[in-house]
Structure 1
Amino acid sequence: MTAPEARLLPRGTGRALALAQVALGLTTIVRARDLGDRAWLGLSPTAARRVVRVLGARQVAQGVVTAARDDDPQVLLVGSVVDALHAASMLPLVAVRGPYRRRAALSATLAAAAAAVGGAAAER
């Protein structure tokens, strides 16, 4: 009899992460008016809302792909890298004092957490 495989995270973590990403992405798209309510980075409020919707759509797409292939470590790892890049891209906005600092910090924190969970799930 062989020893049971050690798991860092329980089975199904990739699926749970994917569903959370879809939910967050859909919420971002639906709440784009609230999240992109002011001009930022030289964009008009309309353009800012478009950027927010694109970011939400990216989360939905990533979540759908991850849910479809939640047992594929490569998919989880690529998703983890995408989330880490998103977290890193938010850091300059966090460093700048302005109306979007808190939102950027929250986005960076959620993306970093998703990257960590996705990376750990890929290791299983």
Structure 2
Amino acid sequence: MTAKRSPAGDATTIRAIGLVEAVTGALLATRPNAMITLVDRHRAGPPVWLVRVLGARMLVQGAVEIARPLPVVAMGGAAVDASHALSMLPVVIASRRFRRPASVSGAVAGATAAALLGAFVRATSHADD
């Protein structure tokens, strides 16, 4: 017999993922140079404006996940993060200069996509209980 998860637990999971994304996004948007240095202190990173845009996107996405922790929001967030992770692959392959930041950005996006997809699956499996 397995323990049943509650819809409230699923909402808490989605909110926690959203909080991580929102905080990360706020740091990228407001402290881009510090975040670039944290990822790769030996090379010039991507343009600051690009880091700020990514941060703003993550901040908004995280805020939506916190405010509306619904399965459809988790699935939408997972799709956005998976798309971002996949978009980093050509940069990782083709750009020596941006390989490390693109790898980190893609890995973080892939991890949040997987976490949100897992939350979506758990939340929607309650219908079968």
CA–CA distance in 2 between the matches of 1:114 and 1:93? 20
Q: Could you list the runs of 5+ residues in structure 1 that have no partner in the other structure?
A: 41-47
Cα distance 1:118–1:102, how it changes in 2: closer, same or farther (>3 A)?
A: same
Pairing 1:82–2:80 present: yes
Aligned to 2:16: 16
Count of residue pairs the alignment pairs up: 112
Aligned to 1:29: 29
- Which runs of at least 4 in structure 1 moved beyond 4 Å after TM superposition? none
Identity over aligned residues, as a percent? 36
Question: Which amino acid counterpart does residue 13 of structure 1 have in structure 2?
Answer: T
Give TM-score, length-normalised by structure 1: 0.80
More helix by share: 2
Give TM-score, length-normalised by structure 2: 0.77
Q: Could you list the runs of 5+ residues in structure 2 that have no partner in the other structure?
A: 38-42, 124-129
Cα displacement string for residues 31-71 of structure 1 (whole angstroms, at most 9, x for unaligned residues): 3234298476xxxxxxx21111011000000000000011x
CA–CA distance in 2 between the matches of 1:13 and 1:39? 32
How much is the aligned-residue C-alpha RMSD, in angstroms? 2.3
